[in-house]
Structure 1
Amino acid sequence: MTDHPGLKRSLGLWAIVALGLGYMTPTVMFDTFGIVTDETHGAVPLAYLVALVVMLFTAISYGRLVRVFPSAGSAYTYTRETIHPVLGFLVGWTAMLDYLLLPLVNALIIRLYMTSLFPDSPGWIWVVLIVAVITGLNAWSINSTSNVNFALVGFAMVMIVVFVVLALGQLADGVGQGTVLTSQPLFHPGVHAPAILTGATVVCFSFIGFDAISMYTEEAKDRSDVPKAIVLTLLIGGAVFLAGSQVAQSVFPDTSRFSLVDDPLPEMAFLVGGRLFQILFVSAAFAATVASGLSSHASVSRLLHVMGRNRVLPQRVFGYVHPTRRTPVYAVVFVGLVSLLAITPSLELVSSMINFGALTAFSFVNICVIALFAVRRREVRTARQVTTNLVLPLIGFGLTGLLWSHLHRDALVTGLTWTAIGIAYAVVLRITSGTRLSDFELDLSDNLMEVN
């Protein structure tokens, strides 16, 4: 039994779902709409549908592993416990590229929003301000983070519904396709599989967040809520993306009406609802970005905390939990310091790095299901066991592999470089400590005692 306080169990089912939806940033669909429209030749909903199918198989694998390993750490914990601790470390290290950079991306997007509104103000002021607020809320308590996130996500969702209603009015007036009941956004001449798969790798970024829910396992009031929340978040987010992109693609079959294809959200809002709605919708996008900053900051600090608790990162810093606030406060502050790097880089540079970490986590979660249930437990004696323990995770792994094959070259180079740094760190840790990573491992029984 640990002598240190554990994380506080205070999150209900819908609070966890809201954190997942906040992480996903529902309005991001409109930010990337122009790029994906050009990439898929006007079939954005089909790209989202392909990505959703891939994510559903992986979500099933996440849900199964959460029940077996009720500990924070996500793909890092699962790989560490089912395959090998060193591989678990490398998966956690690689996934950290995704988790650690997303709070930075959100701070960067907010910097761009604010400097466009106040062009004479230095961008660093907005980065410092938003990072300070988000870090403070996360350090104070998971409840404060959850409550603010819930309100921001709710506002963003309401504005997306209003956008859909206004867009339907445009279609009724004969704009675009002139009807929402059209298959054109899903299939039409000129739509080809390679383009759709490339588009799916872009919109895969929109789904990042449902997996991060597993980071809150130790803070859920009822740990059985976590696998439910994973599936609910994916289905709700997927429904929003599919419905929104179907209506938007019907109104805007191509990008000819946009002056800024890279981020057409403000123009789309103006064209369907006028100036007042444009202000409200941009405000909703801002709120969704802050919500994503809150939830992504919370989840990566939990990953760092578990890696610190297991002593593969400095334990005194990352393994520490505040005795009264019950938050991994040093890990939270570290993420805040990293987020301050949003003062200088470009959005394109940072966002290109993120999908590598996410796809690594998705791939290994499917492999872990096979390693645990099919290999270690040998639960492949019946047709049902073969289906759930072998066929479904293999499909999830194979579909994730399709996204891997269309990942941007910059993401591959950056991700492989980050992985190489992780390998070098593991070697240095071995040399300086005289101990292997596997010697740092806690028994699963000790983990279960700790989270209880």
Structure 2
Amino acid sequence: MEATNGKLKRSLKLRHLVFFGLAYMAPFTVFDTFGIVSEETSGHVPAAYILTTIAILFTAFSYSKMVTIFPSAGSAYTYTKQTLNSKLGFLVGWTAFLDYLFLPMINALLTVIYCSSVFPDVPPWIWCVGILLLTTVMNIAGMKISVSANSVMVLFQLLVAAIFVVLTIRAIIHTDTANLFTFNPFYSEQMSWSTAFTGASILALSFLGFDAVTTLSEETIEPKKNVPRGIILIALVGGLYFITVSYFMQALFPSTETLQNIEGASPEIALHIGGMLFQSVFLAGAIAACISNGLATQASAARLLYAMGRDGVLPKKLFGNVHPRYGTPIFNIVFIGILAMLALFLDLETAASFINFGAFTAFTFVNLCVIVYYFKQKNTHTVKSILVNVISPLLGISFNAYLWYNLEVGALIIGLIWVAIGIAYLIYVTKWAKVTLPDLEFEETFSGS
């Protein structure tokens, strides 16, 4: 195996980034959230997805801007540190770590739920340990292996989703052909814009993944070209996929009144349209989603820790090292795997509440970084450049502010406690501001357009 001299190995192309991002987004989330959002929006899930896609694209565009300037594994942490302030950058990275840390836990929990439903006699901890051991070993082996496995599993999920749509269309034809081409899932007289936006705030979490590819910048070939393209492609492809699948599901089930289990609506729909055989195939797709998403989330979290460790804001000897042979931050990968074992002591709702706070913090600050960096450059301010570098990120900030407004009180309290711990650690590291956090130098290539 090729030696990497203690640095992350560049081996990823654009297609690898797209599959990584889609794996992080987990195509099967469209099924997991359908029942809840359908009830919230009174049968307008596709409309909520359209709103989410449009809103997320503003933030995705901001990420694509910043990764061109700072092609680092640190993502929002690096952008904030280099654009605004090193201490603020640490706090953004610390807060965003909630997102990266608890997503592997959620995947472990979902694996336990899915597998225990089929094999109820097997102790749940076996499934939890098994999935985390699998993702840890594959991530240690190298990103190329991990991304290749992810590509296969994402393709399988998309295949199952395609069969799901075909069977749904068949069911609609046998029930009421008029529903096949109805516009009601997108808009009807009963639709409320407030509930549609509330549904959009829930569905925003389905798009986590377009930003995660920025953590792979140092392992990507031609990162300043491929990573921005990957970010936009992931957001667009993911949005189109979510809108399409949810449309046919909504056309078949305009209301949740006929569903027995709103939270578990998708397995019920799978049984309805394809019987026990397809329900089994559907379950296999769900487990594949857990594995692929587990690989992606663990890899991203390890890269964020690596960037912070390399900068010295976390113990460098532990977090800032890359294995010279495998080209991966092995300690970080194992560390994330061990922390994810806490899934054995958490429920799904508690773990999910941690994610929102960290994700929305990162999104908000990346949009802010675009604006601040633009004015720092003192370029000629044209109408086009202001639209791209001020108005667009401001819209992204506005949407994230709305998401913050809709956060549960519990998630806010937990998030603020986590931030307080980060502030205390920052004070300790900087010895009450007597020591300055180190900065990294990057080639600045921002065009201002």
TM range (shorter): over 0.9
Which one-letter code corresponds to 2:8 in the other structure?
Answer: L
Tell me the TM-score normalised to structure 2 length: 0.95
> 1:413-424 residue pairs with structure 2 within 5 A?
413-424=413-424
Q: How many residues align structurally?
A: 441
SS in 1 for 2:179: coil
Deviation at 1:447, TM superposition (A): 11
Structure 2 match to 1:328: 329
SS in 1 for 2:120: coil
Deviation at 1:233, TM superposition (A): 0.7
Find the aligned partners of 1:431 and 1:441 in 2 and give their Cα distance. Answer: 14
Contact kept, 8 Å, 1:197 with 1:406, in 2: the verdict is no
Q: Please say if 1:409 is aligned against 2:409.
A: yes
The alpha-carbon distance between structure 1 residues 445 and 153, as it changes in their structure 2 partners (threshold 3 A), is closer
Deviation at 1:380, TM superposition (A): 5.0
Which one-letter code corresponds to 2:285 in the other structure?
Answer: A
Find the aligned partners of 1:413 and 1:173 in 2 and give their Cα distance. Answer: 50
Which one-letter code corresponds to 1:64 in the other structure?
Answer: K
Residue range with higher mean Cα deviation, 17-26 or 418-427 = 418-427
Find the aligned partners of 2:276 and 2:202 in 1 and give their Cα distance. Answer: 29
> 1:154-165 residue pairs with structure 2 within 5 A?
154-165=155-166
Q: Please say if 1:268 is aligned against 2:265.
A: no
Find the aligned partners of 2:381 and 2:117 in 1 and give their Cα distance. Answer: 61
Question: 1:372-407 deviations in whole A, cap 9, x for unaligned?
Answer: 01x211235211221112111111111222222222
Find the aligned partners of 2:402 and 2:312 in 1 and give their Cα distance. Answer: 35
Q: Of residues 423, 439, 444 in structure 1, which corresponds to 2:441?
A: 444
Contact kept, 8 Å, 1:379 with 1:389, in 2: the verdict is no
Deviation at 1:62, TM superposition (A): 0.6
Deviation at 1:443, TM superposition (A): 3.4
Q: Please say if 1:243 is aligned against 2:244.
A: yes
Structure 2 match to 1:298: 299
Find the aligned partners of 2:167 and 2:156 in 1 and give their Cα distance. Answer: 17
Find the aligned partners of 2:325 and 2:297 in 1 and give their Cα distance. Answer: 23
Q: Please say if 1:56 is aligned against 2:81.
A: no
SS in 1 for 2:258: coil
Deviation at 1:189, TM superposition (A): 3.2
Structure 2 match to 1:372: 373
Find the aligned partners of 1:71 and 1:62 in 2 and give their Cα distance. Answer: 12
Find the aligned partners of 1:8 and 1:136 in 2 and give their Cα distance. Answer: 17
Structure 2 match to 1:39: 40
Tell me the TM-score normalised to structure 1 length: 0.94
Structure 1 match to 2:124: 123
Residue range with higher mean Cα deviation, 313-322 or 377-386 = 377-386
Structure 2 match to 1:425: 425
SS in 2 for 1:379: coil
Find the aligned partners of 1:114 and 1:259 in 2 and give their Cα distance. Answer: 21
Find the aligned partners of 1:185 and 1:441 in 2 and give their Cα distance. Answer: 52
Structure 2 match to 1:188: 188
The alpha-carbon distance between structure 1 residues 254 and 288, as it changes in their structure 2 partners (threshold 3 A), is same
Deviation at 1:109, TM superposition (A): 0.5
Contact kept, 8 Å, 1:201 with 1:407, in 2: the verdict is no
Find the aligned partners of 1:447 and 1:394 in 2 and give their Cα distance. Answer: 22
Which one-letter code corresponds to 1:441 in the other structure?
Answer: P
Deviation at 1:445, TM superposition (A): 4.3
SS in 2 for 1:14: helix
Structure 1 unmatched ranges of 5 or more: none
Find the aligned partners of 1:447 and 1:82 in 2 and give their Cα distance. Answer: 11
Question: 1:30-56 deviations in whole A, cap 9, x for unaligned?
Answer: 111111111111111111111111110
Contact kept, 8 Å, 1:134 with 1:293, in 2: the verdict is yes
Find the aligned partners of 2:342 and 2:56 in 1 and give their Cα distance. Answer: 30
Residue range with higher mean Cα deviation, 439-448 or 221-230 = 439-448
Find the aligned partners of 2:238 and 2:204 in 1 and give their Cα distance. Answer: 12
**Percent identity between the aligned chains?**
41
Contact kept, 8 Å, 2:311 with 2:440, in 1: the verdict is no
Q: Please say if 1:215 is aligned against 2:212.
A: no
Structure 2 match to 1:315: 316
Find the aligned partners of 1:25 and 1:59 in 2 and give their Cα distance. Answer: 17
Which one-letter code corresponds to 1:204 in the other structure?
Answer: A
Structure 1 match to 2:108: 107
Find the aligned partners of 2:47 and 2:410 in 1 and give their Cα distance. Answer: 25
Question: 1:254-303 deviations in whole A, cap 9, x for unaligned?
Answer: 22232221122211111112211111111111101110000111111000
Structure 1 match to 2:342: 341
The alpha-carbon distance between structure 1 residues 246 and 238, as it changes in their structure 2 partners (threshold 3 A), is same
Find the aligned partners of 1:409 and 1:240 in 2 and give their Cα distance. Answer: 32
Deviation at 1:204, TM superposition (A): 0.8
The alpha-carbon distance between structure 1 residues 380 and 61, as it changes in their structure 2 partners (threshold 3 A), is farther
Which one-letter code corresponds to 1:406 in the other structure?
Answer: N
SS in 1 for 2:157: helix
Contact kept, 8 Å, 1:167 with 1:248, in 2: the verdict is yes
Structure 2 match to 1:79: 80
Deviation at 1:446, TM superposition (A): 9.2
Deviation at 1:143, TM superposition (A): 1.1
Contact kept, 8 Å, 2:165 with 2:248, in 1: the verdict is yes
Contact kept, 8 Å, 1:198 with 1:407, in 2: the verdict is no
SS in 2 for 1:32: helix
Structure 2 match to 1:391: 391
The alpha-carbon distance between structure 1 residues 139 and 4, as it changes in their structure 2 partners (threshold 3 A), is same
Find the aligned partners of 1:380 and 1:51 in 2 and give their Cα distance. Answer: 33
Find the aligned partners of 2:185 and 2:306 in 1 and give their Cα distance. Answer: 44
The alpha-carbon distance between structure 1 residues 445 and 171, as it changes in their structure 2 partners (threshold 3 A), is closer
Structure 2 match to 1:95: 96
Find the aligned partners of 2:418 and 2:380 in 1 and give their Cα distance. Answer: 37
Find the aligned partners of 1:447 and 1:286 in 2 and give their Cα distance. Answer: 42
Structure 1 match to 2:137: 136
Contact kept, 8 Å, 2:69 with 2:442, in 1: the verdict is no
Question: 1:297-351 deviations in whole A, cap 9, x for unaligned?
Answer: 1111000100000011111111010010010010101100111111121101111
Q: Give the alignment's Cα RMSD to 1 decimal.
A: 1.7
Structure 2 match to 1:286: 287
Find the aligned partners of 1:58 and 1:292 in 2 and give their Cα distance. Answer: 21
